[in-house]
Chains A and B, each alone.
Chain A
Amino acid sequence: MPLRAFESILEPAGPQAASIAWLWWVMFGTAATVFTVVIVAIGAAVIRGWMRARRTTTPDTDDTLLSGAVGAAVAITTLILVGLLIATMWTTRTMLSLGAASAVSISVTGHQWWWEIEYEEATPSRRVKTANEIHIPTGRPVVFKVQSRDVIHSFWVPNLHGKRDLVPGISTAIWLEADRPGIYRGQCAEFCGRQHAHMAFDVVAESDAEFGKWLAAQRESAHEPQSTEGRRGHDVFMSRQCVLCHTIRGTAANGGVGPDLTHLASRATLAAGTLPNSRGHMAGWIVNSQAIKPGNQMPPNPVAADDLQSLLTYLEGLR
């Protein structure tokens, strides 16, 4: 598994993010220089005026220096703005220059408050659905086709690209590429309701081979539970309301309201980056997710203690 990267636009891990970071530094450098020059000029003017006031009482009526300075400042400002405009156009060009050949195509649907992920394939039955964790191969362009099921969200992985809004009723796309392996955290970047802050996801960039292996594993139906406890957990899941909202491919559960749980145990987090995916967190989440992420769509499930243990064992087996 690749290492988790520090989440920042200034630690780019791909060409798009790199050009954004470059533009950021250009703008920062320009602004810092202009700021310094202005402060020095003001300081010089104050000192000059103060010295003159000590020498004489007649006011300065010579305007030639003033009009020269204003003219120079206007010229420099115009030059800088045009320069930044060109830099911005250059950056945009770099960001949009990805080749479409051999691109991985991933559909991302925003929900309050989680991310539905679907890997597109020519053969519909080979499409893979998952949630909140996106794997991509390094060194290959990836296109995210984004849309929203409810309100406006925004797809943002700071280490890989800028933001792209997910607007209900409109499908749009964002292209990116990761240069090096890593786990890059993404976050909804458009306020979308009460749990906006708990709407995160991970992008796992890995080698082509590892990505292929992962995708093949995700394409499989859910693993049959191996233990008695696991089989009992399967029955608990199938006999309760869980199936109305969740899908576990290869079983009777095919709800479409919440995340696909076919390979739940392979994911690093629960509830869109809210909790680590461990048995303890899973237990609390199932029984009363409302205490953890108030307002989310999953109702409390006060299952009997025995049923809860079996359910946890079953879900932990969904690798």
Chain B
Amino acid sequence: MTWRGAIVVVATVLAAACRAGEIDRAAAEATGGDPARGAAAIRRYGCDTCHTIPGVATARATVGPPLVAIAVRTYLAGELPNTPANMQEWIRHPRVVEPRTAMPDTGVTDGDARDIAAYLYTLR
């Protein structure tokens, strides 16, 4: 590899890293939560036992829909416009949003809902 090739590779890696940082920042800003804490909360509440969630090693289940690219999905739960507020409401009180859903109310706190939503908005 020439030195020019090396520079291109380094620049690409740096750009990707910056972009990942940007996505995390944007998600945190939109929700007021912390994506890293959100990933931990996802495992604590058991979201991973029903959903496949990119970046969460234990989340490979197929009970509910996979949350791939959930950040850019148009509707949540097939009915709510995908906004940070709606995302948190759906996470906290699924049965209030959609009384016939199988998704249980797992007692997610306000703060944890913000963190979980922050993580989910990094999934573009």
Given A279-B46, A282-B46, A306 and B100 contact (CB-CB distance below 8 Å): yes
Closest to A312 in B: B104
Residues in chain B near residue A287, CB distance under 8 A: 50, 63, 102
A258 to B58, CA, bound (A): 24
Among candidates B46, B103, B106, residue contacting A275 with C-beta atoms closer than 8 Å: B46
Closest to A279 in B: B106
Closest to A280 in B: B46
* 7 A–B pairs (Cβ distance < 8 Å), ordered by A: A275-B46, A278-B106, A283-B63, A284-B48, A291-B62, A306-B100, A308-B104
Question: Which residues of chain B have a CB within 8 Å of any CB of chain A?
Answer: 44-50, 60-63, 95, 100-107
Interface membership of A276, Cβ < 8 A:
yes
Contact B61 A278 (CB under 8 A): no
Among candidates A283, A284, A305, residue contacting B100 with C-beta atoms closer than 8 Å: A305
Contact B101 A283 (CB under 8 A): no
Closest to B98 in A: A305
Contact A284 B63 (CB under 8 A): yes
Question: Which residues of chain A have a CB within 8 Å of any CB of chain B?
Answer: 275-276, 278-285, 287-288, 291-292, 304-306, 308-309, 312
Contact B44 A288 (CB under 8 A): no
Contact A309 B95 (CB under 8 A): yes
Taking the nearest CB of chain B, how far is it from the CB of A267, in angstroms?
15
A92 to B49, CA, bound (A): 44
Residues in chain B near residue A308, CB distance under 8 A: 102, 104
Contact B46 A305 (CB under 8 A): no
Contact A283 B107 (CB under 8 A): no
Among candidates B95, B100, B101, B104, residue contacting A280 with C-beta atoms closer than 8 Å: B104
Among candidates B49, B61, B104, residue contacting A309 with C-beta atoms closer than 8 Å: B104
Closest to B47 in A: A280
Contact A278 B46 (CB under 8 A): yes
Among candidates A279, A288, A291, A292, residue contacting B104 with C-beta atoms closer than 8 Å: A279
